[in-house]
Amino acid sequence: MIFSSIPFLYYFLPIVLLVYYAAPKAFKNAVLLFSSLVFYAWGEPRYVFLMMASITASYVTGLLIEKYRGRTLSKLFLIVSVALSLALLGYFKYADFFIANFNAITGFSFPFLKLALPIGISFYTFQLISYSVDVYRGETPAQKNIISLGAYVALFPQLIAGPIVRYSDISRQLTSRTHSFDKAWNGCRSFVIGLAKKVLIANTLGELCASYLQSTQSSLAYGWLYAIAYMLQIYFDFSGYSDMAIGLGKFFGFEFSPNFNYPLISSSITEFWRRWHISLGTWFRDYVYIPLGGNRVKRGRMLFNIFAVWFLTGFWHGAEWNFVIWGLYFGVLLTLEKFFFARYLADHKLLGRLYVMFFVIISFGIFAADSFSSALGNLGAMFGTSGQAVFSAEFAYALRNYGFVLTLAAIGATPLCKKLWLLVRNRAKQRAWLDVLEVLVLAFLLIVVSAYLADGSFNPFLYFRF
Amino acid sequence: MKKIIPVIIMTATLACVSLACWLKPHTTYSQSERRPLASKPELSVSSVVSGDFMAGFEDYTADQFPMRDNFRSLKALFSRYLLGKKDDNGLYSAHGHLSKIEYPANAHMMDHAAERFEYIYNTYLKDSDSKVYLSLIPDKNYFLAKPNGYLAIDYDKFIADFRAKTDYMTYIDIVPLLELDDYYRTDSHWRQEKIADIAHLLAKSMGTDARCDYVTNTLDHPFNGVYLGQSALKSAPDTIKYLTNDILSSSIVNYYDTGAAVQGDMYSMTKAHGKDPYEMFLSGSSPLLEIINPNAASDKELVIFRDSYAGSLAPLLAPAYEKITLVDIRYMQSSFVGNFLSFDSQDVLFLYSTTILNNSMSLR
């Protein structure tokens, strides 16, 4: 099930909210776990058992890690837990990638497994690993209640596309969390804004991207327009989903950390990755980069650490070489910044923003592909390697048709609107009418989104495939 | 404002729409979109395990959404005026007309149509004495799209390419006689009262004369064309006008929808008041029908391989022929045509719109 669907908005969510708030405190986690399993089973009836098995395995190993803390067995159970999680991820997500490359290198022709990717496996696997590692490090006690651990892993607001919530961040909330109208209102605002970002902006930009992929007239301008539209689509799609997840979390008393912080205004790639998919970046930092030694090692080793992290970041996004190249591309840019021009960029913000835009747009030309060769095709379209025209009629129409949405998206990707709103609020003598206006705008957005969904304008979330 | 009030307002909005979704009576058919609406999927272990129930439920809840047509209109207006979109699901309006973008030209589809026509020619016509003609009808984007900045196929090239693939037929060019106002504003089809000159040109090119005086009648029922329902935009309906005279009144129409001949009307008043009033012309879709003109001046016969555009045009050719047979290979396999027709010395006209040729998988 996805948030931007009528079954979720008008069937699942009202029932879950009703049952959740009616349930006694002791049963709230059970309600959340059960509803999350239903939510997951809606899209993946078979794989719900895989997720339950993963939760059970992590629950048992977590208890054992804690029981034998300080002894070799503790480390052994940690290794077992992490290896099990990675093995499942590797089997379901990467098996065919490895088979294809093995066949290509050796000339063998092992058959592909052709497994459907369990939705959200990349996200919940990382959450389970963080749980085991945090318990091993003693940063949090093992969860004794399997329902609470299950509720953490399967929690439907963040189950299938993040943010990657660390156990240590919400372990306390699992047993004791508060519910208030203030929190519910903030959640409501976040959810509706995220829903509008997804349905009204990202899906509309998705239409532009689909038109490009069906185009018959290749042109340089259209290649760049596609990359820009795809970048904005991904941003509004994924950050919209994160907003909805954070908003839904608040309905149920949870506080998730922000996952995006206007990354497209960054003046360096380093800053970009501090603002884009924050939960993934910090996960790799804390569970890969720092354990490898981080930057407190010799330069050669540090370079290895950086490229290992960015190889894995790219690979996490998809089992294709273009994702690996995409990750390493950022690794190269970050290394260059780290060693050569970080200070220059800090002193020249405008130039830095243009530099970030240029290289991030190119990166999404690579990211938009589904293979290395199609990534080269996208880059070729942007740099005219096929000698194509600069403009085309299709480009002109796409610009006319989507120019306003692109402009809205570009403005919406900056904090301008938020700042303006806060400015007006701070200067207003009577804030009551602003509150009324805000409620009306959000109710209107909810109705308009419903109109889009009733019309069948429907696109699955892009980050589901990761 | 205390946050309790906004929360109550948003919760009430969610609850009201949810209740409306749950309690709304089931609707089986969408008049505006001219399609059956999804019904509630069967709930069973196998349908849940296979995911069919969930997929069906998604369709069901979208199709059965309360006040769906109003919501579709809201979406179209929001998309157009607040997001600045020039088209919505490919539909656009310009010069008071609604139309749907037909782009790009699909070479594969064109090849398929040409292959079907060649099959018919080689199987039935090549060794007969029939004279074979082709005439192509551009859809109204030909006149509407480019001048208003919308994407359109290169119609001149499209027609030239198709003629090259069917060079065994004599081409009759009707494009110079057409203009935008010959088409309904809210529908894809042409207006019968505007195409008598087309019928005359076709008949003349086939060596006969279809000139006639007609009485123009106006249907007492508004015509909401196919684009009006699809676009969900508000627009004044079209008016259907149809031509009559003594020759058409005395002609007999035999429909072979079920194999046996059933006599019917040239203009079906039942269909005129039905879901798609354009179907009043020769009762809409039919795999095979004949128009018999007992008062014809000659014994010439015409066979038209056709799509829906011919429904309103064929009656205007009736004065020139003793018998006109209309074959629609969207509803009959080309290989079955020989079971019903034998070709000797008839005129044979392939009359198709560019829309069908560019989306030709329905040609069988």
Q: What is the pLDDT of residues A20-33, one digit of tens each?
A: 999 999 999 999 99
Segment B326-337 mean pLDDT: 92
Same domain, B347 and B252: yes
Number of domains in chain B: 2
pLDDT recorded at residue B23: 93
pLDDT tens digit string along A148-165? 999 999 999 988 776 888
Q: CB contact, 8 Å: B2 with chain A?
A: yes
CA distances from A217 to A45, A211, A223, A391 (A): 42, 11, 10, 9
Nearest-CA distance B77 → chain A (Å): 10
Same domain, B123 and B269: yes
CB nearest B13 (choices: A45, A200, A446): A446
pLDDT tens digit string along A290-336? 999 988 889 899 999 999 999 999 999 988 999 999 999 999 999 99
Q: Virtual CA dihedral for A315, A321, A326, A331, nearest 10 degrees?
A: 70
Q: What is the 3-state secondary structure (H, E, C) of B265-304?
A: CCECHHHHCCCCHHHHECCCCCCEEEEECCCCCCCCEEEE
C-beta separation of A361 from A232 below 8 A: no
Same domain, B5 and B119: no
Same domain, B57 and B101: no
Strand partners, B291: B253, B324
User: Regarding beta strands B131-137 and B347-353, do their DSSP bridges make them parallel or antiparallel, or are they unpaired?
Assistant: parallel
CA angle at A212 for the pair A210 and A213, rounded to the nearest 5°: 65
Segment A266-293 mean pLDDT: 94
ipTM, two decimals, is 0.86
Residue B72 lies in a domain: no
State how far the Cα of B323 lies from the Cα of B292, in Å rounded to an integer.
5
Residue B81 lies in a domain: no
A459 pLDDT above the threshold of 70: no
Q: CB contact, 8 Å: A11 with chain B?
A: yes
Q: Would residue B361 be called left, alpha or beta, if left means φ above 0 and alpha means ψ between -120 and 50 degrees?
A: alpha
* SS3 assignment, position B308: coil
How deeply is B350 buried, as exposed, middle or buried, from its count of CB atoms within 10 A (0-12, 13-18, 19+)? buried
Q: Taking the domains of chain A in order of start, what are their residue ranges? A: 6-177, 183-267+348-454
Same domain, B134 and B226: yes
pLDDT recorded at residue B248: 86
Q: Are B14 and A13 within 8 A, CB to CB?
A: yes
Residue % of chain A over a pLDDT of 90: 71
If we measure between CA atoms, which residue out of A308, A305, A309, A286 comes closest to residue A296?
Answer: A305
CB nearest B3 (choices: A181, A214, A401): A181
Same domain, B323 and B187: yes
Q: CB contact, 8 Å: B33 with chain A?
A: no
Same domain, B37 and B106: no
Write the DSSP string, A232-284: HHHHHHHHHHHHHHHHHHHHTT--PPPS-S-GGG-SSHHHHHHHSSHHHHHHH
Residue B88 lies in a domain: no
Q: Which residue segment(s) compose the domain that B50 sits in?
A: 1-66
pLDDT recorded at residue A198: 95
State how far the Cα of A7 lies from the Cα of A48, in Å rounded to an integer.
19
Residues 184 through 243 of chain A touching chain B, CB cutoff 8 Å:
184-185, 188, 192, 200, 204, 214-216
pLDDT tens digit string along B20-63? 999 999 888 888 788 888 889 999 988 988 888 998 999 999 99
Assess whether the previous peptide bond of A163 is cis (omega < 30° from 0).
Answer: yes
* Residues of A assigned a catalytic role: 317
pLDDT recorded at residue A29: 92
B255 pLDDT above the threshold of 70: yes
Residue B219 lies in a domain: yes
Segment A208-219 mean pLDDT: 88
